[in-house]
C-alpha cells in the first residue's frame, strides 16, 4: 500500500460502535481464569506502600494536610494503583495480544475495525484498574481510614483515571519494538508522575515552577478528586479535573489510533 492510499485512512476519524464489547468480553473471559491471583497481585504492592509508609513512616510524622499521614497516603495509593494497573494492561498485555500472540490480527479478520479492537482494549484496561482501585478502597474502609458516603464517588474517578492512563499506554504500545521499550516509559514518565502528583506528599512542598508542570499530569487531577472525597469533602474545581482527564483520554486515544494504524500498515 503506497502513501497516497494509506494517508486518508491513517488519519480518518474513528468510527466507534458497540463492537468493542466482544473484545472486552474476550479479555475478561481470559482474565477470569486467573482472577484471584491477578487481584492479589494488584493489591500487594500498593498495600505494602500504604501499610509500610503509612503506619511506619507515618507514626513519626505530624498530620499532613489536616489528616493523619496514613489517611493522606491512602488516597494517593488508590490513584497510583489505578495508574499502574491500567498502564500494565495497556502495555504488556496489549502488546502481547497485538504483536506476540497475533490476537489483534485474528480479531481484524472478523467484522471488526481497528478502532473497535483498541476501544475494547482501552475499556478493558480501565476495567482492570477499577478492580484494582476497588480492592484498595475496600482495604481503606476496613482500616477505618474513611467513613464518608462521598467516598463512593471515588469509583467513577478510578474508572476515568484508568481510561486516561490506558489511552496513554496504547500510544507507547504502538511505538514499542519490544517489551524492553516499556522500561523507558516507566522510568521517564510513570515513576516521576507518582512522585510529583501528590501521592506521597503535598504538591505544595514542590517549587512553584514544578507545581505548575505537574498540572499537566493526569495523576495530579485524580489525586485532587480522590483525596477530598475520602475525607468527606466535595473536591474543589471538580469539573475542571474531570474535564482534563476526559481530554487526555480522548486526545491520547486518537493519537494511539493513528500510530497503531501506521504500524499495522507498514
Q: Is residue 35 part of a domain?
A: yes
Q: Is residue 8 part of a domain?
A: no
Q: Is residue 13 part of a domain?
A: no
pLDDT 10s digit of each residue in the chain, 266 long? 333 334 447 888 888 889 999 999 999 999 988 877 777 777 777 777 777 777 777 667 777 877 888 888 889 999 999 999 999 999 999 999 999 999 999 999 988 999 999 999 999 999 999 988 888 888 888 888 888 889 899 999 999 999 999 999 999 999 999 999 999 999 999 999 999 999 998 999 999 999 999 999 999 999 999 999 999 899 999 999 999 999 999 999 999 999 999 998 76
Q: Is residue 102 part of a domain?
A: yes
List of residues 6+ apart from 16 with CB closer than 8 A: 115, 116, 119
Q: Is residue 42 part of a domain?
A: yes
Q: Is residue 58 part of a domain?
A: yes
Domain boundaries, position 253: 18-264
Q: Is residue 2 part of a domain?
A: no
CA pair distance 58, 70, nearest whole angstrom: 6
pTM: 0.90
CA pair distance 17, 9, nearest whole angstrom: 17
pLDDT of residue 25: 95
> Structural domain tally of the chain?
1
**What are the CB-based long-range contacts (under 8 Å, 24+) for 38-41?**
38/128, 39/131, 39/132, 39/135
Q: Is residue 5 part of a domain?
A: no
pLDDT of residue 120: 97
Amino acid at each position: 500500500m503506497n502513501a497516497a492510499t494509506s494517508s486518508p485512512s491513517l488519519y480518518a476519524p474513528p468510527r466507534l460502535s458497540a463492537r468493542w464489547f466482544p473484545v472486552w468480553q474476550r479479555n475478561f473471559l481470559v482474565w477470569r481464569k486467573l482472577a484471584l491471583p491477578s487481584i492479589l497481585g494488584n493489591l500487594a504492592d500498593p498495600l505494602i506502600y500504604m501499610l509500610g509508609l503509612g503506619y511506619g513512616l507515618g507514626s513519626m510524622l505530624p498530620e499532613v494536610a489536616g489528616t493523619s499521614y496514613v489517611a493522606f497516603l491512602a488516597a494517593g495509593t488508590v490513584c497510583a494503583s489505578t495508574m499502574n494497573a491500567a498502564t500494565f494492561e495497556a502495555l504488556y498485555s496489549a502488546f502481547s495480544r497485538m504483536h506476540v500472540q497475533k490476537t489483534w490480527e485474528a480479531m481484524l479478520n472478523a467484522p471488526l475495525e481497528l478502532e473497535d479492537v483498541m476501544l475494547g482494549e482501552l475499556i478493558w484496561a480501565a476495567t482492570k484498574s477499577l478492580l484494582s482501585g476497588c480492592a484498595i478502597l475496600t482495604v481503606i474502609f476496613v482500616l477505618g481510614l474513611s467513613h464518608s458516603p462521598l467516598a463512593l464517588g471515588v469509583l467513577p474517578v478510578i474508572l476515568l483515571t484508568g481510561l486516561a492512563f490506558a489511552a496513554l499506554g496504547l500510544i507507547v504500545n504502538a511505538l514499542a519494538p519490544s517489551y524492553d521499550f516499556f522500561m523507558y516509559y516507566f522510568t521517564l514518565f510513570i515513576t516521576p508522575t507518582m512522585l510529583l502528583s501528590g501521592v506521597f506528599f503535598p504538591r505544595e512542598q514542590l517549587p512553584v515552577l514544578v507545581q505548575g508542570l505537574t498540572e499537566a499530569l493526569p495523576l495530579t487531577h485524580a489525586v485532587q478528586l480522590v483525596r477530598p472525597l475520602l475525607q468527606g469533602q466535595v473536591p474543589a474545581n471538580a469539573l475542571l479535573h474531570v474535564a482534563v482527564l476526559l481530554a487526555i483520554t480522548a486526545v491520547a486515544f486518537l493519537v494511539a489510533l493513528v500510530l497503531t494504524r501506521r504500524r499495522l500498515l507498514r
